[in-house]
Structures are given as structure tokens and as C-alpha cells.
């Protein structure tokens, strides 16, 4: 049996300001930092062999802060599998030190849903301009995308294949995985794990900085 921990990043500055964020690479707020540290205390005794994050700083910061409290005291070390120079020049040349790190893999496939023309706009002001019903459709429907952006369906079409191809094999080998990502990319993963329909997944709420733990055993999932 292995464990999968999924965790939405802590509150970002734009979450705090009620702005559509999407792929805009904004950092955590002070509250977000606290949420990440508190999340770390919740998972400090959970086994973690490898960490997956998005390419966005709020996801990566959340993972690093959460791992500060981990009982192993291992160092999270960002990997650069798609950059030959960074991979070569960042190589660890000590077997002892190598055993004291937790590899952290960035993947754009785990990025937040791209909100297109809404990115940077205030959510309340956007609702006043386009109408609450239209904005609700853009935010909560499964297959309707905002202008020049992604729908949740489109997000799932990049997130789920990556999860199945890159992350699931670790669990099948008995390794334990932490994913620090975003509300919509994690919704997609939960949709796969819990076999949810498009109608069911849009009502799924994933709070910031709150770990969710699944146990995986020979193709079967259960929430811990």
C-alpha cells in the first residue's frame, strides 16, 4: 500500500484580492504562508518519497514550507528534467546527501486552469460587467471555457494523462507521493481517483492549504 497526498497551495495574494489568477505567477499571501506551514504539521509524520508541483511559485512555495516540518528533515530539491544544463550542473555528488533529499518535480500539466481574458480581473467587478450567471458558468461549468481560456474539461485533458503516466507508477511501486498544485488541476485528479462525472466534479471544493490523503492498494483507492 502507498499514499497519495494532494494539497492545494496556500492563499495567494490574488486569492486575497479576489482576482482571477490562472497561470499568472503570483506568490503566497501571509495567510497562505501560514496555511502551508500548518499543512506541514498535518502531514509531518506521513511518508513522502517524491513531490510533484506545478511550475507556478505558489505551488512550489507551499510544498517547500510544508516539508519544513517533515519528520525525516529531508531537503526538498527541485529537479529540472527538461533542462540538460540544470540537471547536469545541479547533480548531487554525495551518496549520503542524495539519501537526505526529497526530489521535487515541476510539471506545467499540474498548473491551474488558464482563465484567459479573465486573468487579473476582479471577480466581483467581472460579475457586475458580464452578469453573475455568465461568470458562474465560466467558473463552475465543466466544459464551458472563459474567453481565450480553459474549461475544467480542457484542464483535465492535460492533468489526468500526466497523473496516470508520471505519478501513478510511483504509487504502483509502493512509493508515497505529495502533489502540491491548484484547485482545478487537483479537481481533475480527484475526478479520476473517485470516478466522478463532469457534473459532480464542478461542485467539488478543495480548500487552500488543506492536505487530502488517499491510500492506494493494487488499483484501489480509499480516503485516509
Q: Which domains, ranges and CATH numbers included, belong to the chain?
A: 2-223 (3.40.50.1240)
Active-site residue among 9, 70, 170, 182? 9
DSSP the chain: -EEEEEEEPPPBHHHHTTB--TT----B-HHHHHHHHHHHHHSTTS--SEEEE-SSHHHHHHHHHHHTT-TT-PEEEE--TT-HHHHHHT----HHHHTTEEEEEE-GGGSPPP-GGGTT-BHHHHHHHH-HHHHHHHHH-SS-PPTTS--HHHHHHHHHHHIIIIIHHHHHTT--EEEEE-HHHHHHHHHHHHT--HHHHTT----BT--EEEEEETTEEEE-
For the entire predicted model, the pTM comes to 0.96
Q: What is the pLDDT of residues 110-133, one digit of tens each?
A: 999 999 999 999 999 999 989 999
User: Is residue 224 pLDDT above 90, yes or no?
Assistant: no
Write down the catalytic residue from 35, 109, 112, 150: 112
The pLDDT value given to residue 179: 98
pLDDT of residue 138: 94
Please name the residues in contact with 159: beta carbons below 8 A apart, sequence gap of 6 or more.
Answer: 109, 110, 185, 188, 189
172 burial type by CB count under 10 A (0-12 exposed, 13-18 middle, 19+ buried) = exposed
How far apart (Å, rounded) are the C-alpha atoms in residues 151 and 143? 5
Specify whether 109 is catalytic: no
Average pLDDT over residues 35-46: 98
Tens of pLDDT, residue by residue over 194-208, are 999 998 998 999 999
**86 has catalytic annotation:** no
| Of 145, 111, 123, 154, residue with least CA distance to 24 | 111
Specify the pLDDT at position 209.
96
Per-residue pLDDT of 133-169, as tens digits, reads 999 999 989 999 999 999 999 999 999 999 999 999 9
73-110 pLDDT, tens digit each: 999 999 998 899 999 999 999 999 999 999 999 999 99
Task: State the average pLDDT over residues 179-204.
Answer: 96
Amino acid at each position: 500500500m502507498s499514499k497519495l497526498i494532494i494539497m492545494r497551495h496556500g492563499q495567494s495574494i490574488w486569492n486575497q484580492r479576489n482576482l482571477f489568477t490562472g497561470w499568472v505567477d503570483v506568490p503566497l499571501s501571509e495567510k497562505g504562508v501560514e496555511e502551508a506551514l500548518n499543512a506541514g504539521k498535518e502531514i509531518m509524520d506521513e511518508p513522502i518519497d517524491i513531490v510533484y508541483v506545478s511550475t507556478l511559485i505558489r505551488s512550489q512555495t507551499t510544498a517547500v514550507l510544508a516539508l519544513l516540518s517533515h519528520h525525516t528533515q529531508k531537503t526538498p530539491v527541485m529537479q529540472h528534467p527538461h533542462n540538460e544544463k540544470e540537471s547536469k550542473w545541479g547533480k548531487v555528488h554525495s551518496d549520503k546527501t542524495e539519501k537526505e533529499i526529497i526530489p521535487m518535480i515541476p510539471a506545467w500539466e499540474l498548473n491551474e486552469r488558464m482563465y484567459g481574458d479573465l486573468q487579473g480581473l476582479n471577480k466581483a467587478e467581472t460579475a457586475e460587467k458580464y452578469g453573475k450567471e455568465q461568470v458562474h458558468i465560466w467558473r463552475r461549468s465543466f466544459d464551458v471555457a472563459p474567453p481565450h481560456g480553459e474549461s475544467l474539461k480542457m484542464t483535465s485533458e492535460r492533468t489526468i494523462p500526466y497523473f496516470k503516466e508520471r505519478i501513478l507508477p510511483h504509487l504502483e511501486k509502493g512509493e508515497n507521493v505529495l502533489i502540491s498544485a491548484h484547485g482545478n488541476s487537483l479537481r481533475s485528479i480527484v475526478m479520476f481517483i473517485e470516478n466522478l462525472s463532469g457534473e459532480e466534479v464542478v461542485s467539488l471544493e478543495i480548500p487552500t492549504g488543506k492536505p487530502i490523503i488517499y491510500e492506494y492498494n493494487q488499483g484501489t483507492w480509499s480516503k485516509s
